[in-house]
């Protein structure tokens, strides 16, 4: 199943499944989204200053209910996370996934902590989703806005995404998966985690020191998560220390897998990040620095 693309007049539900949403960034973002010709429905947790504990946008039950209500609303075509932060994993067991399956396919978009929600939507609902910039972020610049708009309204225009350079040369095909490294490592042993078998994997993170990146990659390697991986695409490592040390780590941990690896692809916690569909077939060409999607994620 694939969700339908957006059209003028459709409704986008803005939700806060993780951290509290800065009010000033929200007020700037909503008019941008409405400029696409859509209705924007702002969830109750999005408007909260903070929950309890204060690094959450609301209680686990409230955030799960906000997400569930948005998905079950027949008028909503896209559920867009306003921002990341922390907390998605805490609410996943409170979502009625059977009810969401009955509601039919919709678009989920977001990134960072939303990686856990992407995995859940892919596993429980069998749907592709969009690893995308989020509107309540200082990184939601004009390029990021336009790439997300095209992914939602004109997905065939994003069939080839260019960026990066070869860390390990080669070409491979598989289903695109992954996202934020911290969330992938933290998800080991959970029902939604799955594995990277037959997949091309996205990896990125922010404000993690090199030894912590090492620990997370090592955990994924030792757990067997990377077994059968086809290729790897590395995004931004903003505020993760010396880029040369990060690059050396990626070579040390990932090159022995013997698959193509692209570095500096430009997605993640960085300005002008592209929107990348998860759960769909893709070909990575490390030498050309391209991701080519077999077909659009949205019909």
What rounded mean pLDDT belongs to the chain? 96
pLDDT at 49: 79
pLDDT at 1: 84
DSSP string, the chain: --PPPP-TT-EEEEE-SSSPPPHHHHHHHHHHHHTTT-EEEE-TTTT-S--SSTTSSS-HHHHHHHHHHHHH-TTEEEEEES--SS-HHHHGGGS-HHHHHHH---EEEE-GGGHHHHHHHHHHH---EEE---SSSTT--HHHHHHHHHHHH-GGGGSEEE--EEEE--EEEEEEEEEEHHHHHHTTTSTT----TTEEEEEEEES--HHHHHHHHHHHHHHTTTTT--EEEEEEEETSS-HHHHHHHHHHHHGGG-S-EEE----SSSTTPPPEEESSEEEEETTTTEEEESS-S--
Provide the whole-model pTM: 0.96
Q: Options 3.40.50.10740, 3.40.50.300, 3.30.70.1290, 1.10.510.10; which CATH number does 11-153 get? A: 3.40.50.10740
Tens digit of each residue's pLDDT (9 = 90 or more) over 96-137: 999 999 999 999 999 999 999 999 999 999 999 999 999 999
The CATH 3.40.50.10740 domain(s) of the chain lie at 11-153
Is residue 16 within 8 A of residue 63, CB to CB? The reply is: yes
Tens digit of each residue's pLDDT (9 = 90 or more) over 162-190: 999 999 999 999 999 999 999 999 999 99
Is residue 49 within 8 A of residue 56, CB to CB? The reply is: no
Classify domain 159-293 by CATH number: 3.50.30.60
The CATH 3.50.30.60 domain(s) of the chain lie at 159-293
Is residue 134 within 8 A of residue 81, CB to CB? The reply is: yes
pLDDT at 52: 76
Active site (catalytic) residues: 112, 204, 269
**What residues have CB less than 8 Å from 198, skipping those under 6 apart?**
174, 175, 228, 230
Residues of the chain scoring pLDDT < 50: none
């Amino acid at each position: 199943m694939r969700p339908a693309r957006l059209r003028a007049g459709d409704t986008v539900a803005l939700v806060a499944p993780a951290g509290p949403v800065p009010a000033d960034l929200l007020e700037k973002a909503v008019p941008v989204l409405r400029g696409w010709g859509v209705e924007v429905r702002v969830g109750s947790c999005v408007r909260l200053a903070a929950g309890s504990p204060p690094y959450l946008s609301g209680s686990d039950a409230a955030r799960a209910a906000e997400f569930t209500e948005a998905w079950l609303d027949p008028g909503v075509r896209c559920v867009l996370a306003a921002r990341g932060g922390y907390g998605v994993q805490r609410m996943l067991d409170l979502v009625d996934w059977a009810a969401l399956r009955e509601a039919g396919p919709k678009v989920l978009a977001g990134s960072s902590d939303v990686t856990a929600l992407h995995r859940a939507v892919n596993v429980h609902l069998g749907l592709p989703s969009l690893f995308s910039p989020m509107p309540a972020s200082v990184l939601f610049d004009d390029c990021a806005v336009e790439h997300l708009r095209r992914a939602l309204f004109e997905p065939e225009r994003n069939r080839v995404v260019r960026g990066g350079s070869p860390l390990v040369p080669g070409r491979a095909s598989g289903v695109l998966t992954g996202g934020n490294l911290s969330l992938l490592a933290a998800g080991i042993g959970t029902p939604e985690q799955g594995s990277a078998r037959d997949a091309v994997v996205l990896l990125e993170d922010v404000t993690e020191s090199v030894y912590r990146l090492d620990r997370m990659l090592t955990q994924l390697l030792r757990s067997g998560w990377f077994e059968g991986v086809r290729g790897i695409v590395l995004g931004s490592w903003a505020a993760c220390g010396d880029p040369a040390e990060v690059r050396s780590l990626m070579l040390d941990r990932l090159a022995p897998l013997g698959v193509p690896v692209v570095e500096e692809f430009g997605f993640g916690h960085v300005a002008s990040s592209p929107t990348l569909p998860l759960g769909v077939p893709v070909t990575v060409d490390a030498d050309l620095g391209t991701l080519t999607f077999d077909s659009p994620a949205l019909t």
